[in-house]
Structure 1
Amino acid sequence: MKRSFIREILESIDEETISFAGGLPNEALFPLKDIEKSAMNVLQNSKVLQYSLSNGLKSLREKIAQYYNDEGFETSADNILITTGSQQAMFIIAKYFEQKSITIEEPSYLGAMNIFRMNKLDMKPVALEADGIDIKAFQKSLEETKLAYLIPDFQNPYSSTYSQVKRNTVAYLIKENDAYLIEDSPYSELFFTSKKRTISSMIPNNSFHLGSFSKTFAPSLRIGWVRANEELIHELMKIKESIDLHSCGLSQAILNDYLSDSQLFKQHLQTIRNDYKDKMEYFSSCLKAILPEFKFKQPKGGMFIYGYIENVDTKKLVFEALKHKVVFVPGSEFYLDKSSCNEIRFNFTHSTKEEVKEGLIRLKRLIKGEL
């Protein structure tokens, strides 16, 4: 086991550092007044501070289930397990499949890879393409593992989105092989144009669909969830009860009160999308103007821009960049076995326009040997 590079980086930077590293939302968009109002509402009742249900507040599970139903994915509250962020959801599922093999994308989310290592899952990486995973290689791997972990929407770190054809094919292969899919979906609501159908909706009994309010509401509340069939949810609850009995009841109650006005949340989501689209376009324009050697494709949503610079070891570059108060995540962190790499993941949602421009200028000067 090793610690998360990103978490370590966050500990080593200060207020003067321009960070493109963590997947941090724009805190200027947190609905502070609405959260304050909901908190005051729920704190009128002392029971909100009491122990809660292991699977989560029923009224909150019902609201989450309704989002699925609105998209044509039949779901009830009993299909939902509230977790302490989607990271805990992933850990619980990994514990359920402990010591088995799992097919993953490459590159992949390093937080998931650390969880799989801890639970002794044998990871089998399959390369990503512009429109999703390499299907031929995925099919061959899935026949062996019977389990896959994918991020189809604005993938972290690659920022790609699966085409509908590949979504359909993945669903078919999961069902054909009597396999299971862990579909990680923290960014699916952060689309700039349109939202695609989840793979899980095509294979409801063979999937775990992971969601989170960390990217769309407030990460410190630590509210995520798993959507699966009732039998699987029951098995996951046994594991969760050995970890924390239940996720924070106060956080759930505040969120549940806020979501009572569905239009309020819809408007909030649209505000985030508009802001992130603007930030992505500005970051992209700065990359093209300041760092044209960085090759990338503009994402259609999410929080990251991913690409590469020829003949640059970005792992070495990041430690030099830290000395000059700018930081990113080198691509090597997202591979199972790659000590050096020319790829970079930039987060575009958290920095100001002034910080973006200054940070990229510093990186440019570092690469040219001027710093």
Structure 2
Amino acid sequence: MKRSFVREILESIDNETISFAGGLPNEKLFPSKELKKCASKVLKNKEIYQYGLSNGIKELRQKIAKMYCNSGFKTNEENILITTGSQQAMFIISKYFENKSITLEKPSYLGAINIFKLNHIKMKEVDLKKDGIDIKKFEKSFAKTKLAYLIPDFQNPTSTTYSKTKRDEVAKIIKKYDGILIEDSPYSELYFEKKETLISSQIPNNSFHLGSFSKTLSPSLRIGWIRASKELIDSLIIIKESIDLHSSGISQYILNEYLKDDANFEKHTQKIRDDYQDKMEYFCKCLDKYLPTFKYTKPKGGMFIYGSFKKIDTFELVKKAMKEKVLFVPGNQFYTNKEKINNEIRFNYTNSSKKDIKKGIKTISKLI
């Protein structure tokens, strides 16, 4: 199995590079001062340096459970497993379903595809439409696999957002076949218009809901979580313990301290939404002006713009762009059969200045 192309090209970044590649948050928006205060406070407590519970510290799990309850999704701390980022959450669940088959979107998140391969999970791709997965094809596939991996909120890589109708239909199919949904939601709080209802809230005993603080606070904390029934969580803890015993206690305690101020966290998250929407609008204007043949749908949230050219090989294009210190991810990386797709691109717009956005897109236009 090859390494993630995204992770590989990120290693080529230096101070002169304009990167539209990785899904990096805007580091200027990290609440560094607040987190520093929280760290200074909790580091005085010697207990935080000790081994902790495998499922995570109780206070943090309670706060995450409260977030679900506030949105109408009944949850308690027993339904939460703290993980070392949502990437580990994906690995734990994949290990649980090792050697099974899974239905997923086409295209889909590269990190998940690699994890499924590593755990010998056979992937059955289903096309995405503008309002979500193709329901007829999804049901046909899910009837056989009884396991699905979906990203309904600002999907990676396409930024597709599932409509209410599609969410309801997916939930009905999961119930009908008594299967399991893995609902990956790292971008659900990064909405520009409204927050959508989680599919998992309709099927709490037939789903794993994955969340993360990497996109809203700091990826360096490496704190994510799984929300599921107590029975499913108990099954996963065995796998979690075998990997790392528990996620970083220090990160958990710092995060727990920060989340004590609900209003401040919401204010911070809204600041991110406003900044990202502004960046997205500017990125789209530059695309329309300098790359008019690139066809895309403007996202309603998240971190990416996805689209395609008619006859341009974007894998060859990125090789040329890298020589000019501009990076993006060619769309073929998000398919299980990479060689068949050669004209699509995923752009990240959240971690570049407007000056670099304009310069980067103009550079790409000169290479076409």
In structure 2, runs of 5+ residues without a counterpart are none
Q: Deviations over 1:145-166 (max 9, x none)?
A: 0000000000000101000000
Letter matched to residue 325 of structure 2: K
Letter matched to residue 282 of structure 2: Y
Would you say 1:359 and 2:323 are equivalent positions? no
Q: Secondary structure at the match of 1:345?
A: strand
How far is the alpha carbon of 1:196 from its aligned partner? Answer: 0.7
Would you say 1:299 and 2:299 are equivalent positions? yes
Partner of 2:343: 342
In structure 1, C-alpha distance between the alignment counterparts of 2:263 and 2:60, rounded to whole Å: 16
Residue correspondence of structure 1 range 99-114 to structure 2 within 5 A: 99-114=99-114
In structure 2, C-alpha distance between the alignment counterparts of 1:74 and 1:17, rounded to whole Å: 45
How far is the alpha carbon of 1:178 from its aligned partner? Answer: 0.8
Partner of 2:62: 62
Letter matched to residue 67 of structure 2: Y
Q: Secondary structure at the match of 1:302?
A: coil
In structure 2, C-alpha distance between the alignment counterparts of 1:200 and 1:119, rounded to whole Å: 24
In structure 2, C-alpha distance between the alignment counterparts of 1:19 and 1:253, rounded to whole Å: 33
Partner of 2:175: 175
In structure 1, C-alpha distance between the alignment counterparts of 2:347 and 2:261, rounded to whole Å: 34
Q: Deviations over 1:313-359 (max 9, x none)?
A: 10111111101110100000000103141000000000000100000
Q: Deviations over 1:213-232 (max 9, x none)?
A: 00000000000000000000
Deviates more, 1:103-112 or 1:44-53: 44-53
In structure 2, C-alpha distance between the alignment counterparts of 1:255 and 1:22, rounded to whole Å: 24
Letter matched to residue 365 of structure 1: K
How far is the alpha carbon of 1:364 from its aligned partner? Answer: 0.3
In structure 2, C-alpha distance between the alignment counterparts of 1:147 and 1:98, rounded to whole Å: 12
In structure 2, C-alpha distance between the alignment counterparts of 1:124 and 1:43, rounded to whole Å: 47
Partner of 1:86: 86
Q: Secondary structure at the match of 2:347?
A: strand
Deviates more, 1:332-341 or 1:139-148: 332-341
Partner of 2:38: 38
In structure 1, C-alpha distance between the alignment counterparts of 2:342 and 2:100, rounded to whole Å: 29
- Give the % identical residues: 65
In structure 2, C-alpha distance between the alignment counterparts of 1:18 and 1:35, rounded to whole Å: 28
Partner of 2:117: 117
Letter matched to residue 50 of structure 2: Q
In structure 2, C-alpha distance between the alignment counterparts of 1:31 and 1:132, rounded to whole Å: 33
How far is the alpha carbon of 1:15 from its aligned partner? Answer: 1.4
In structure 1, runs of 5+ residues without a counterpart are none
In structure 2, C-alpha distance between the alignment counterparts of 1:327 and 1:71, rounded to whole Å: 38
In structure 1, C-alpha distance between the alignment counterparts of 2:115 and 2:43, rounded to whole Å: 35
In structure 2, C-alpha distance between the alignment counterparts of 1:14 and 1:261, rounded to whole Å: 36
Q: Secondary structure at the match of 1:98?
A: coil
Residue correspondence of structure 1 range 212-361 to structure 2 within 5 A: 212-339=212-339, 340-361=341-362
How far is the alpha carbon of 1:17 from its aligned partner? Answer: 1.0
Q: Secondary structure at the match of 1:39?
A: helix
In structure 1, C-alpha distance between the alignment counterparts of 2:178 and 2:193, rounded to whole Å: 34
How far is the alpha carbon of 1:366 from its aligned partner? Answer: 0.2
In structure 1, C-alpha distance between the alignment counterparts of 2:332 and 2:14, rounded to whole Å: 24
Tell me how many residue pairs correspond in the alignment.
Answer: 367
Would you say 1:193 and 2:231 are equivalent positions? no
Q: TM-score, normalised by structure 1?
A: 0.98
Q: Deviations over 1:267-306 (max 9, x none)?
A: 0000000000000000011100111111011100000000
In structure 2, C-alpha distance between the alignment counterparts of 1:259 and 1:129, rounded to whole Å: 37
Q: Deviations over 1:253-276 (max 9, x none)?
A: 000000001111000000000000
Q: Secondary structure at the match of 2:187?
A: coil
Letter matched to residue 190 of structure 2: L
Letter matched to residue 5 of structure 1: F
How far is the alpha carbon of 1:72 from its aligned partner? Answer: 0.7
How far is the alpha carbon of 1:140 from its aligned partner? Answer: 0.2
In structure 2, C-alpha distance between the alignment counterparts of 1:51 and 1:319, rounded to whole Å: 46
How far is the alpha carbon of 1:13 from its aligned partner? Answer: 2.2
The CA RMSD measured in Å over matched residues stands at 0.5
Q: Deviations over 1:180-213 (max 9, x none)?
A: 0000000000000100100000000000000000
In structure 1, C-alpha distance between the alignment counterparts of 2:104 and 2:188, rounded to whole Å: 19
In structure 2, C-alpha distance between the alignment counterparts of 1:362 and 1:271, rounded to whole Å: 30
Q: Secondary structure at the match of 1:141?
A: helix
Q: Secondary structure at the match of 2:166?
A: helix
Q: Secondary structure at the match of 2:52?
A: coil
Q: Secondary structure at the match of 2:11?
A: helix
Partner of 1:76: 76
How far is the alpha carbon of 1:16 from its aligned partner? Answer: 0.7
Would you say 1:157 and 2:157 are equivalent positions? yes
Letter matched to residue 232 of structure 1: L
Partner of 2:2: 2
In structure 1, C-alpha distance between the alignment counterparts of 2:32 and 2:305, rounded to whole Å: 28
Letter matched to residue 353 of structure 2: T
Q: Secondary structure at the match of 1:82?
A: strand
In structure 2, C-alpha distance between the alignment counterparts of 1:77 and 1:254, rounded to whole Å: 18
In structure 2, C-alpha distance between the alignment counterparts of 1:49 and 1:67, rounded to whole Å: 27
